[in-house]
Amino acid sequence: QVQLVESGGGLVQPGGSLRLSCAASGRIFSINNRAWYRQAPGKERELVASITRGGSTTYADSVKGRFIISRDNAKNTASLQMNSLKPEDTAVYYCYAGGARTRSSVRDYWGRGTQVTVSS
């Protein structure tokens, strides 16, 4: 079984920075895609950024130039560096691992989420 644990959320002032981290635990052989999603109150969950095993990245238009996604395949970790934060970035951020291969299965996993609040 694979578990994803996020860390790094919190309260930050507009213009500030936060770094989210996601650690995948379990007997994992590989993970295809890592991503971060977010869900603000009253809104649907949306993709923020994703990165393939080979390092190709995609970003939501709203975060391009401000957020950077990265991963460490050897450690099964993924991170999201968030800069120039805006109040509209306030949301619960979820870590995602797509195509996680273990001895018994290949499936997707979600973390429980970490709150990011951008406010003065």
Q: List pLDDT tens digits, range 45-76.
A: 999 999 999 999 999 999 999 999 999 999 99
Of the candidates 91, 94, 25, 36, the one whose C-alpha atom is nearest the C-alpha of residue 60 is 36
Q: Name residue, tokens 């379990």.
A: 26
Q: Judge contact between 22 and 34, C-beta under 8 A.
A: yes
Residue 1 scores a pLDDT above 90: no
Q: How many angstroms separate the CA atoms of 27 and 103, rounded?
A: 8
Return the CA Rg of the chain: 14
Average pLDDT over residues 8-33: 96
